[in-house]
Structure 1
Amino acid sequence: MTIAITGATGQLGRIVIEKLKDKVPAAAIIALVRSPEKAADFGVTVRAADYAAPETLLLGLSGVDTLLLISSNELGQRATQHRNVIDAAKKAGVKHIVYTSLLHADTSLLSLAGEHIETEAALKNSGIAYTILRNGWYTENYTGSLAGAVASGAINGSAGNGKVSSATREDYADAAVAVLTGSGHDNKIYELAGDTAWTLPELAAEVSRQTGKTIAYNNLPEADYAAALKSHGFPEGFAAAFASWDTGASKGTLFDDSRVLSKLIGRPTTPLSESVTAALKAS
């Protein structure tokens, strides 16, 4: 069985590649990337493939049995790009597509949901066996900026006391590998989220505990949070989108207590405290 991964040089893709190498021969893994030189150290077959260039996708998917379609990071272009991949997969004879979607995409309040729902529909209509991994929030979405929070003495956001059932990229990568190398997952949708939900005030308290410094949580109006993100270098459109996702979190959009993820990977998901520790050590 040959397994291909799109977006393999991305943060999730790199982890999936490394974990797959522990499960299947490296010769059975194909990294599909826009810039092959960035994957020279992967130790697997690397093929050029661009979501926006269908001709590269068809060549890249030649001889592939199972495909992990990691969602594109180009907001507004993703539905079209994902359809390009699905169409090429069908032409290439791919037998199974695993797709990284969004937690509760069919009911989510997040602006991200629309393109995921379009992609899910395209998968269901493709005639190819599919598995949809509706990934919840990545813990790294917040812990990635802790160095700045410690320096300023505050974490900003618009999520109020909304509960975030996050998990780490490694947790989600384990789920992808479990499906790619396992059986019984055809035409299933998995709602994936961390075992224990937390709030941004609780994140601030955990950072305070680990650093010995008082880190406040500043709950800002959405527009003010977007402006703060922009002042820290976020592109204007992305700053507005990220702030709106926080508002969605305040309404429960990022909460899930089904524990499907931990059941799928056979272990508890990574606790927030461990993620904070890792982020602080890396900063």
Structure 2
Amino acid sequence: MYAIAGASGQLGQLVLAGLVEKVGADKVVALVRTPAKLAEAAASGVSVRAFDYDAVDAAALAGVERLLLISANEVGKRGPQHQAVIDAAKAADVGLIAYTSILHAPTSTIGLAEEHRATEAALAASGLPYMLLRNGWYNENYTGALGPSIEHGAIIGAAGAGRICSATRADYAAAAVAALVDGAAADVYELAGDEAFTMADFAAHVARIAGKPVAYVDMSQADYAAALEGVGLPGWLAAMLANSSYASSQGALCDDSHTLSRLIGRPTTPIADTIAAALA
């Protein structure tokens, strides 16, 4: 029996669909805060169970042999939330946990990596068999605000000439399914896209596909954070995004191992394809 914690999220729903296709709905448990969100999955035979990262009930994990712990989305609360899930999995005798961590977690200079490192340490201390899916960035992280960028003819950031190896959510979801079903305890997957690009490359792709001039404008980390605040982002979010962008200038978001494409058995989705889909 396979379970997905966070099954109603953007990544979780893709994993859920892929896992059902691979092993059958009767072998899948979807763990969600609001079960009504997955009424269609429940009707298809998936066991949909209430599961709140802030109030974890080990009973929801009854019968689960392999659990995918998708990282919580509340930055700053992930440490205790993930620890609660790990404790519940141990109490429920779950056979293995697969965790969606961050690319190169032990050495990453991205601020978000701290909570992932803490979760990896908690898994190691738990005594439970576990595997790590260290995900790079999503292609979709870069295509959410293309409209204003095209309108102003500029994409701003603090990434310098750093190489970025992103992939789509669907690529990472396929990897999670493959690892959860066929992977083994102690496996560590550094997952990133096949094709590296710089933000200047990204801007060139946008310009070509949109048919309008768009250039990348590099800034300092502080100036980029200030610019993001200037368009209405909260200070903490602006600082987090600027930190991640600057870290990419130092190689934090690239990995040339092609582990992801080997795991899913196909090439990862090029960033240009995701840009084209977003602008279609």
Into which bin does the TM-score normalised by the smaller protein fall?
Answer: over 0.9
Question: Which amino acid in structure 2 is aligned with residue 176 of structure 1?
Answer: A
What is the distance in 2 between the residues matched to 1:143 and 1:36? 30
What is the distance in 1 between the residues matched to 2:4 and 2:230? 35
Matched with 1:213 is: 212
Matches within 5 A, 1:62-73: 62-73=62-73
Question: Which amino acid in structure 1 is aligned with residue 27 of structure 2?
Answer: A
SS in 2 for 1:40: helix
Matches within 5 A, 1:17-166: 17-42=16-41, 43=44, 44-54=46-56, 56=57, 58-166=58-166
What is the distance in 2 between the residues matched to 1:248 and 1:136? 12
**Displaced runs of 4 or more, over 4 A:** none
Matched with 2:198 is: 199
Deviation at 1:104, TM superposition (A): 0.5
Question: Which amino acid in structure 2 is aligned with residue 7 of structure 1?
Answer: G
Question: Which amino acid in structure 2 is aligned with residue 261 of structure 1?
Answer: L
SS in 2 for 1:249: helix
Deviation at 1:166, TM superposition (A): 0.7
SS in 2 for 1:21: helix
Could you tell me the TM-score, scaled by structure 1's length? 0.94
Please state if 1:234 is matched with 2:233.
yes
> Which stretch shows the higher mean deviation, 41-50 or 80-89?
41-50
Unaligned runs of at least 5 residues, structure 1: none
Matched with 2:257 is: 258
What is the distance in 1 between the residues matched to 2:166 and 2:122? 27
Could you tell me the TM-score, scaled by structure 2's length? 0.95
- Percent identity over paired residues: 53
Deviation at 1:61, TM superposition (A): 0.9
Question: Which amino acid in structure 2 is aligned with residue 270 of structure 1?
Answer: T
> Which stretch shows the higher mean deviation, 81-90 or 122-131?
122-131
What is the distance in 2 between the residues matched to 1:29 and 1:21? 7
Deviation at 1:235, TM superposition (A): 2.4
Unaligned runs of at least 5 residues, structure 2: none
What is the distance in 1 between the residues matched to 2:187 and 2:181? 15
CA RMSD of aligned residues (A): 1.2
Deviation at 1:230, TM superposition (A): 2.6
- How many residues are matched? 277
What is the distance in 2 between the residues matched to 1:10 and 1:151? 30
SS in 2 for 1:47: strand
Deviation at 1:211, TM superposition (A): 1.1
